[in-house]
Amino acid sequence: MACPMSTLSPQDFAELDPPTRLLMGPGPINAHPRVLRAMSAGLLGQFDPEFTQYMNETMALYRYVFRTANRWTFLIDGSARAGIEAALVSLIEPGQRVLILDFGRFGLLLREIAERCGAEISSVAAPWGEVIDPELVRAAIGRVRPALVACVHGDTSTTMAQPLDEIGRICAEHDILLYVDATATLGGMDVPVDGWGADVVTAGLQKCLGGPSGSAPITISDKAAARIGARRHVEAGIAAPGDLADVSASGGPRIGSNYFDLAMLMDYWSERRLNHHTEATSMLYGARECARLVLEEGLEARIARHARFGRAMAAGLSAMGLSLFGDQAHRMANVVGIEIPPGVDGERVRRRLRTEFEIEIGTAFGPLAGRIWRIGTMGYNCRGHAVLLTLAALEAVLRAEGFASPPSAAIEAARAAMAG
């Protein structure tokens, strides 16, 4: 019997030539050309002095982006979820109490990962489209006495941004670690890690930072690093006699993942460079360039740009006669939810935008599936022409679908918001 693989021919697999789309959903977005160019640079060995210098530079750059003095600020190789999982599996010991702040899909994700870590879970929840009152968090901490509070800053599933200043103060008052998932906001909204008093914050490149998915910046406070270090373990194949003594003296339960073991990764990113995995060279190049772009523009200017064009998008959508979803006082600067008008087929509109205009906008999950669209103005796509093109295309498709949108009102409203 002939092997099925013998029928394969190179002609069956064309060279990649993906369509050039404007990605205006909640992420991923189009990567900045400079990031893509950086990723095409030649590879180096992971212990080459030139490469370890790039690692050190990346750490310094992300301290600026995270607004922190944390020594342990580096990259997790993997998508944003890799950063989330590394944080939680390294912070949570089986049986520990963890308080999850849940106001959307990604709060529920934190709960699932914490459950897989063996945590005893309690939650403070808000309806999708709202944020959580810090006083409810204070009351829950008094009742539960958790070791860790975990929350999302900007949850793209609902487009809401949770204020964290007061929650950070409450955690500090009770000597509780605070973990924050800032995947969708780092580089586009203010993420003042030290100002919040957050202990571990993670993110991803594929949203406001303007890169591809595949690298997760992380920053870890000294307090959290000490908690993680108490569970330090060194692989037998690379351990020196002193390392073996460290393992027996640590006393803490071993972290349940090898790949996502932050204690091992801190050893890898330290001056010692204790081998863990082979660093994703091209992704580090890309992550470094993402942060260089933030530094070049200036963090305050970048945050102001995302606020400006986010307002313009929201103003244009409202002028089109569409209703914005959720509590607008707490809407993310870089993603807006739009209620799908009655009688309009939401997926047909998305399909026409993609096939007729090469523009992608987002659908929704869970209880919001089929109810809202989500449009992002992030990173490289947070620019005036991207806003105007998206609004013009959406207006054209909606009018073709029978929705009576006032002609050109969206464009004029967006222009006025940009000028203001």
Residue 2 lies in a domain: no
242 and 322: one domain?
no
Q: Are residues 285 and 152 in the same domain?
A: yes
CA 20 to chain centre: 24
Model pTM above 0.85: yes
CB neighbours of residue 420 within 10 Å: 9
The percentage of the chain sitting over the pLDDT mark of 70, rounded to a whole number, equals: 96
d(CA 289, CA 71): 20
Q: Is residue 238 part of a domain?
A: yes
Residue 12: pLDDT band (50, 70, 90) is confident
Give how many domains the chain has, as a whole number.
2
Confidence band (pLDDT; 50, 70, 90) for 4?
low
Q: Are residues 131 and 195 in the same domain?
A: yes
Q: Is 80 exceeded by the pLDDT of residue 357? A: yes
The answer to the question of residue 62 being in a domain is yes
pLDDT at 248: 41
Q: What is the pLDDT of residues 388-406, one digit of tens each?
A: 999 999 999 999 999 988 9
Q: Domain ends where: 263, 294, 325? A: 294
Domain-located, residue 6 = no
Displacement of CA 196 from its chain's centroid (Å): 18
Asked if 196 and 165 count as a contact pair (C-beta separation under 8 A), the reply is yes
Q: What are 17-34's pLDDT values in tens digits?
A: 999 999 999 999 999 999
At a CB cut-off of 8 Å and minimum separation 6, what does 70 contact?
Answer: 63, 193, 194, 219, 220, 221, 222
The pLDDT assigned to 306 comes to 98
Helix (H, G, I), strand (E, B) or coil at 84: helix
Strands 154-155 and 160-161: antiparallel
DSSP 322-343: PPBPS-GGGB-SSEEEEEPPTT
**174 and 52 Cβ atoms separated by less than 8 Å:** no
User: Does the pLDDT value for residue 60 go beyond 70?
Assistant: yes
pLDDT score at 5: 62
Share of the chain above pLDDT 90, in %: 89
Looking at 257, 278, 294, which one is the last position of a domain?
294
- For residue 249, pLDDT over 70 is answered with no
Q: What is the CATH number of the domain that holds 257?
A: 3.40.640.10
Other C-beta atoms closer than 10 Å to the C-beta of 105 total 18
Which residue, 87, 81, 71, 67, is CA-closest to 200?
87
Query: Does the residue 10 lie in any domain?
Result: no
What angle separates helix 384-400 from helix 346-357, to the nearest 10 degrees? 120
Lowest model confidence (mean pLDDT) among 3-12, 50-59, 175-184, 291-300: 3-12
What mean pLDDT, rounded, does the chain reach? 95
- Among residues 26, 90, 66, which one has the least CA distance to residue 291? 66
Q: Where a domain ends, among 243, 259, 294? A: 294
Separation CA 16–CA 212 (nearest Å): 17
Residue 8 lies in a domain: no
Which pLDDT value is given to residue 211? 98
Of 218, 81, 217, 101, nearest in space to 148 by CA: 101
The gap from C-alpha 111 to its chain's centroid, in whole angstroms, comes to 17
Specify the pLDDT at position 241.
77
Least trusted range by pLDDT, from 225-239, 246-260, 329-343: 246-260
The domain in which residue 80 lies consists of 33-294
pLDDT at 2: 55
